[in-house]
Amino acid sequence: MKLINTVLFASVFAAQAQAADWQALPETAPAPADNPTTAAKVELGKMLYMDPRFSSTGTVSCNSCHNVMEGGDDSRSVSMGVHGKTGGRNAPTVWNAAFHGVQFWDGRAPLLEDQAKGPVANPVEMGMEDVETAMDRVRKIPGYKPYFDKAFGENSMTVDNAAKAVAAFERTLITPNSAYDKYVKGDKKAMSEQQVRGMEKFAATGCTACHSGPAFNGPQKLGEGFYSKFPTFADNAYASKYKFADDKGREEVTGKAADRNMFRVATLRNITDTAPYFHNGSVNDLGEAVRVMAKTQLNQDLSDADVADIVAFLGALTGEYPEITMPRLPATAGTSIVAD
């Protein structure tokens, strides 16, 4: 019976995959109606994103764990926050995060605006007592007021507006025009023969059942999550070796046993630049990650040739990073942000 179920499971995935709808990445990201993206918000949001003064030690900014000068992550298995404390999960890339319906591995933040508030008051990440205390630090820096006024109007230095500005900046972090994008738009020379072969094997194996759509993270709607159980097949060496099931996943948010080991499906965009992989950052090699996914999610063992082809295809998903210039931050004159 187990063998029959496995064969049926794989067949369903393969059938879905054969009808894969290959889509290019849009050059603009969706935004909620109450926070349309404007240049003034983006400018302010980038400043706040880069500023470490809103952490308890004055040492950790959003960019510390989601480095936009690189792959949008921190290249660590798990991130390090204030006082050298480390969390339990890998920092997902901020590049193309605007194409996720929800934020965080467990989907606990519906929108980027909600996500922006979370790390500030997390005792392991930025370590502030609460987000309002962090906002008080912003208000005490005179140079920030003109930027808030420009973006939101007078008397607008609020937590919600700061979060809206950061979210607006993050919605500009898009990497279109990858070799894959050019290929699906009609340039059949944009990808190599091996990448095309890998694209076909990626679909035939069943990967597109979850990793579909323009960001390769499944169907997305703002505020609604797309999740998958990981590992789906736990009776194998990979699940044991990398301890994937130790993290309860979305169950920690909902308290529901049905959500155990459920995680938001990750984007595969720029995946060659975002190692280590998985929610616990346990795998460094992309080829190994492909083998892991095939076995734990589809109960399939891939040949070395298939792995090499799929890895080549994944390399075609790395797009063009826009130039990011570091902002000039308002000075903190005549005071220390950290109490003596």
3-state helix, strand, coil in the chain (%, to 5): 45, 5, 50
Alpha carbons 248 and 243: distance in angstroms, whole number: 11
Alpha carbons 48 and 119: distance in angstroms, whole number: 13
Alpha carbons 300 and 319: distance in angstroms, whole number: 29
Kindly state the DSSP code that residue 1 receives in the 8-state scheme: -
153 sits in the region (left: phi over 0; alpha: psi -120 to 50; else beta) called left
Instruction: Give the contacts of 33 (CB within 8 A, at least 6 positions apart).
Output: none
Q: Which of 27, 43, 70, 125 is catalytic?
A: 125
Active site residue 323: no
The CA–CA distances, whole Å, from 193 to 161, 182, 188 equal: 48, 15, 10
Show which residues are catalytic: 125
